[in-house]
Structure 1
């Protein structure tokens, strides 16, 4: 079963999110010397920055070694990299530009800016797949990439990444990245990691805050129908690899067992 954490406010959530991310970072660095993470957009970059840019406790375990991070995007909008809707622009503005120099700079993998205006985002998805293969399958053939951590948000319809309820991309079994031409929320053209890639990660975390999320969290955790929503499918297939970081406003009325700390 996934873990659902609920905190009084976003500040206390950010402290626990920092602990969680750095535990995953330290495990990855001890395993293979690099921390490969995929992130979504929305309010997530702001919460992530609040977590990671806060002063640490001074211990060796509580340091973000950004120079050893590789940041990918769980989904991205087919817009120029400096566009307000760009997830790359968001993470750059909220986090990367504010990292102290002594912590180093992460390696970031944006989409190919030369193809963002294509009518069909398939080429954009294929190029991002090639980027993933250079990282995860440079020496041999692998069925799926293995991210150390994927950080996700959830929409009011239960979508995550750019995988929307009822869309055919949700059923993709083989591709690593898919193009989307008809996102219900603008901009319509996007690319997204597929469900098998997301659930193949070592660790998966959702960040969902505010009273506007309580109805969808109740559907995802407390109803059978919620298990077939994109975020619910991540819960089903990711199982105990999945953690939800929420505030009390978002989990109000949710019957699923909640935890108060890691």
Structure 2
């Protein structure tokens, strides 16, 4: 499956982060009540989070109405556990009100973390089943792995084909670091009017080429109910 249109090619990773920040501000401004944002991990989101918390954007965001969720997390007893949560905490600091950061439990078995986070998402959503007329999130941020994975949904793994559950345990990652994960599923990640793929660096040329050639990869099946936009830097798009 080819990468969904539209694709926006920007000069570098900083420009990708800025474009994502501008879209996030637009999403938040379009609502008058609480806003749910699903975050991803990685180097480009780190740039985005620092930008949001910096002087240019921090006053443009209604932090009291924003709730931050996570598309996946590394779990278990190793130093990698909780890395996506720490990334957001370090960037946002005290801008996030208590209870507005919703981390995936990272200190136990992935099955326990998946069950706990599914319950957390259902509390946020208010019902047990996803309604096509009502999104789970207002914006979902996604990345592209060098093997074509997104969140922690790896090619060839059963979790990438899950069609019912909102959250799954990923006991065996398909790419280093080979630590257990918890991941949202494609149905949950797609329950949004807007999904932004942030893709930067030369290492992403190969998976982008595989997607363009029609290969069935998890990232190619991650589609928002509304608009899916791929923000690429020139190094990735070359």
> TM-score, length-normalised on structure 2?
0.87
1:116-155 equivalences in 2 (<5 Å): 116-118=107-109, 121-137=110-126, 140-143=127-130, 146-155=136-145
SS at match of 1:246: strand
Q: What is the match of residue 155 of structure 2?
A: 165
Q: What is the match of residue 56 of structure 1?
A: 56
Tell me, yes or no, if the aligned pair for 1:74 and 1:161 is still in contact at 8 Å: yes
Gaps of 5+ in 1: 253-262
Matched, 1:232 2:223: no
1:1-262 equivalences in 2 (<5 Å): 1-27=4-30, 29-30=31-32, 33-56=33-56, 63-79=60-76, 86-93=83-90, 95-97=91-93, 99=95, 105=97, 107-113=100-106, 116-118=107-109, 121-137=110-126, 140-143=127-130, 146-184=136-174, 185-220=176-211, 222-225=212-215, 228-234=216-222, 237-238=223-224, 241-252=227-238
SS at match of 1:238: coil
> Considering only CA atoms, is the larger Rg found in Structure 1 or Structure 2?
1
Distance 1:6 1:152, change over 3 A: same
Distance 1:164 1:141, change over 3 A: closer
SS at match of 2:231: strand
SS at match of 2:168: strand
Gaps of 5+ in 2: none
Aligned mates of 2:64, 2:154 — CA distance in 1: 34
Aligned mates of 2:198, 2:68 — CA distance in 1: 17
> TM-score, length-normalised on structure 1?
0.79
Aligned mates of 1:198, 1:25 — CA distance in 2: 18
| Deviation per residue, 1:21-54 (Å, 9 max, x gap) | 1111122x23xx0110111111143121243134
SS at match of 2:230: strand
Aligned mates of 1:159, 1:133 — CA distance in 2: 25
Number of residue equivalences: 230
Distance 1:68 1:167, change over 3 A: same
Aligned mates of 2:225, 2:63 — CA distance in 1: 28
| Deviation per residue, 1:153-190 (Å, 9 max, x gap) | 11100000000001111111110000011102224211
Aligned mates of 1:245, 1:11 — CA distance in 2: 11
